[in-house]
Amino acid sequence: MSAETPHPQDRPLPVSGAVPVPQQPSPNLYALLGPEPFWRIARAFYARIDVHPTMRGMFPADLEEPIRNQAEFLIQYFGGPTEYSDRKGHPRLRMRHMPFAIDVAARNGWVACMRGALQDAGIEQPHRDAMMAYFERTATFLMNRE
């Protein structure tokens, strides 16, 4: 997929009705990396959230469920098994994030935690840049407050 082609998940999704499973990005990072790096990313991300002065309050006290959501979602998004959707249905990321006030500061805080998490999880280039490009644009797409 070229940088100019919007990913299907970048478009608002219908609230009900059949929705196609989002296209997998190319290259298929799951095929290259397997599941473990995505679990390392999710754990590293929430370890950073856990000690973050402004982000922590947005997340539940117990971070085990968010870690699982994130890891399974990323595995699915990056081309692996669909455990996330098998358990929870279509991701509908914008809808699922509406309850959380995501302004530019929250968006930037999330992205900073994720950038650090990719480093903590030992994700090497060029995969790190490919993942960050996805995270940067999706986090912008999820902004829902001025």
Q: Which residues bind ligand HEM (CB under 6 A)?
A: 58-59, 65-66, 69-70, 73, 88, 91, 93, 96-97, 100, 102, 106-107, 110, 135, 138-139, 142
What the block records as the tokens of 75 is 């595995």
Amino acid in the structure at residue 17: G
Residue whose tokens read 């407050």: 145
Q: How far is the CB of 78 from ligand HEM (least distance, A)?
A: 11
Q: Using alpha carbons only, how large is the chain's radius of gyration in Å?
A: 15
**Contact predicate 135/111, CB 8 Å:** yes
Q: How far is the CB of 91 from ligand HEM (least distance, A)?
A: 6
CA distance 136 to 110: 9
Nearer to ligand HEM, 57 or 126 (CB): 57
Q: How far is the CB of 13 from ligand HEM (least distance, A)?
A: 13
